[in-house]
Structure 1
Amino acid sequence: MIVTLTPNPAIDRTVAIPALIRGEVLRASAPMVEASGKGVNVAKALLGNGRAAKAVLVADRALRELLTEAGVPFEAVDGAVRTNVSLLEPDGTVTKVNEPGAELSEEDRSRLVGMALAAGGELIAASGSLPPGVPSDFYAELVDRASVPVAVDTSGPALKAVVAARPMVVKPNLDELAELVGRRPQTLAGVVEAADAVRAEGARAVLVSLGADGALLVDESGPTHGESVVDRPRNTVGAGDALLAGFLAGGLAEALAYASAAVRHLGTHAPPVTAADRASVRLHEHVDGNRRLG
């Protein structure tokens, strides 16, 4: 079983609009309302593909109900939960408005980490932003205390702090990687160089999500690049979470298949992976270092 830890979950409302026009009254479709937050999305992607998972998180009554309806096993600390809104245009462009979340007391932070450590997982996937007031070493403390491998998907100071704690894998996107190393890679060779720098600081593996350019994994065996072509992406929100879930389930090829399934779906969770999703994945024998990122 994989345990996911989400200290700053959300209720996601996704509405489709004809176009995003500032200052206008927009007519939207009925909202799709889902339990969300990065770790929740990872758990849902795993469960939807037959893998055992449990979510550990902060939750209020509404989020608990959504998790139960979705069939997600969970343990929760009581607390206020933010609502995020995604505005989805016909061409797949998504404008997402995320609330910051409520503060989490030191006692509740300790309870949350304790729940994750005691949940009996073979590994822990710790994901998402930190609520206001939570120290940036929150995930680093988790890695230090855990007796099982820990995967981390976060950003900013929390990502920088956790790298030195030697997590099993970190999963930045290109912007987060650029912030972490202080420069923005322009080519795949640049991504490899930046990921190597992150590994030198402590992370055992780095999985970089690159959007339309796929994903690049750098671990002790070297770099591997792969991609999946999706003809008509519908919603990219949650694709990075699906990528991490697939990676934990079966490596880079499965990661790309999970992400492919996610971007074909209107909501923010990943549907079951199909044979077509897996067939669309290409792992390259060699990394084309000169390839410029789109």
Structure 2
Amino acid sequence: MRVLITGAHGQVGHELMRLVPAGFEATGMSSAELDIADAAQVSAVVDRLQPQLIINAAAYTAVDKAESEPQLAYAVNRDGVAHLASAAEARAIGLLHLSTDYVFSGDATTPYSEQDAPAPTGVYGASKLAGESALVAGCSRYMILRTSWVFGAHGNNFVKTMLRLGRERDELSVVADQQGCPTSAASIARALWTLAQQYRDSGALQWGLYHYSGMPACSWHGFAQEIFAQAHELGILPRVPVVHGISTAQYPTPAKRPAWSVMDCSRLQQAQQITPADWRTELRAVLLELAGQ
């Protein structure tokens, strides 16, 4: 099966290209090679490659920068998705698309399900929600996978930032009042390839909206503590820094983050037999990769 992967140089795109299963011919295109915000470019690439499936891992993900660059965020996260949806629908191509926990307000206290009403608090989340709407309106063979707190060995993310700070400092402060689910880029890629295999083998999928994130839930503070503990155990850090928990109010950012980002992933588990990965095990694999072991 021929698959077009957009955003191939991003965290998830990189893993998608690395983990291509047997029986697939994947063409990965970075944002420099394919600007999904350009409708004519999207159409031309799809015509040339003639994929049977598109996996969209392209996105504008600079959460804070989006507040001062809304037009750019919407051009990629809404318009780009609309262009892919239009190209896929016109040629009867399936489209798998990644979205985010940031479509929710973060005011909940129980895990968000696909039935819960989105209410984004910033430009990034709003632009991603607009992309979901564009996909639903423009394409009949689609699957939206909302995920959260993505980390991996490739690209910029919280794990790599913590490792850098852990080498530089004996003590640091990390937000402790935001709860979510760290999710490895590799586990997202594996979930997407599992869906692609189901589509290839059966010619159909239970299309729609699904949640997929790592387990268990934790705070950024708890995530940092686990990163340091594992990194020290593996010999990546010479010591475990002291991590002080602080409030969101003590660490102001241009974009408001959801205080609660935990998502219920049971629908994907029941419909597609895809189980959330334990992010602590996934973290160990990423740390080993970063250490070159």
Q: What TM-score, normalized to structure 1? A: 0.38
More strand by share: 1
The structure whose RCO (Cα within 8 Å, separation 6+) is larger is 2
